[in-house]
């Protein structure tokens, strides 16, 4: 899980359980070259096991799939733009670009990350509207449990910075 997604999940949990307040996203770390992680069961919201735990009606399942489909292409395009921008930043960092050129590219990466987080958040808000209050609580619990599995207690948090 990337660093910013942890903040998005926390924000989503706050919204789902009706909490208020704002969560500030600290400056994100410069992208590092990553090897693709193997896919895990229950990783995506659309996974049947995850949906089964919410005990959705067939109508709710249809609505969830429609919402997921609505955002799928946008999120895919945003991810691709972010990856390209991160690669450009890595190239500038390794090359002879000026400090201002690097900073400008970093701002672009940060803006794309924010836009991607907004897309994810919007999709979760749409999904939230499909759920009953009990399902919202269960959804928040599932997300919190998933977040805990990704960053077990005592594990150091990823370190932001250049």
What are the residue boundaries of the structural domains of the chain, listed by start? Answer: 1-20+95-153
- The per-residue pLDDT for 48 is 56
4 vs 26: CA distance, rounded Å: 9
| Phi, psi of 21, rounded to the nearest 5 degrees | 100, 170
pTM comes to 0.62
- The per-residue pLDDT for 40 is 45
106 vs 108: CA distance, rounded Å: 5
- The per-residue pLDDT for 105 is 97
64 vs 131: CA distance, rounded Å: 9
100 vs 88: CA distance, rounded Å: 14
Which CB contacts under 8 angstroms, 24+ apart, belong to 134-139? 135/54, 135/55, 135/56, 135/60, 136/16, 136/17, 137/16, 137/17, 138/53, 138/54, 138/55, 139/16, 139/54
Place of tokens 């701002």: 107
DSSP state of 154: T
- The per-residue pLDDT for 117 is 96
From first to last of the 162 residues of the chain, give the pLDDT tens digit.
Answer: 444 444 444 444 434 444 433 333 333 334 444 444 444 443 444 455 667 788 899 999 999 999 999 999 999 999 999 999 999 999 999 999 999 999 999 999 999 999 999 999 999 899 999 999 999 999 888 888 888 877 665 555 444 444
């Amino acid at each position: 899980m990337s660093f910013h997604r942890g903040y998005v999940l926390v924000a989503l949990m706050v919204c789902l359980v009706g909490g208020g307040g704002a969560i500030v996203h600290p400056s994100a770390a410069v992208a590092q070259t990553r090897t693709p992680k193997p896919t895990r069961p229950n990783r995506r919201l659309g996974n049947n096991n995850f949906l089964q735990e919410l005990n959705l009606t067939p109508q709710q399942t249809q609505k969830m799939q429609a919402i997921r489909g609505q955002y799928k292409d946008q999120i895919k395009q945003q991810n691709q733009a972010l990856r390209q921008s991160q690669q450009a930043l890595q190239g500038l960092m390794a090359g002879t670009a000026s400090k201002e050129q690097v900073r400008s590219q970093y701002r672009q990466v940060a803006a794309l990350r924010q836009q991607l987080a907004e897309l994810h958040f919007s999709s979760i808000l749409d999904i939230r509207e499909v759920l009953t209050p009990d399902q919202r609580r269960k959804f928040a619990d599932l997300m919190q449990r998933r977040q805990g599995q990704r960053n077990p207690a005592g594990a150091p948090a990823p370190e932001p910075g250049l």
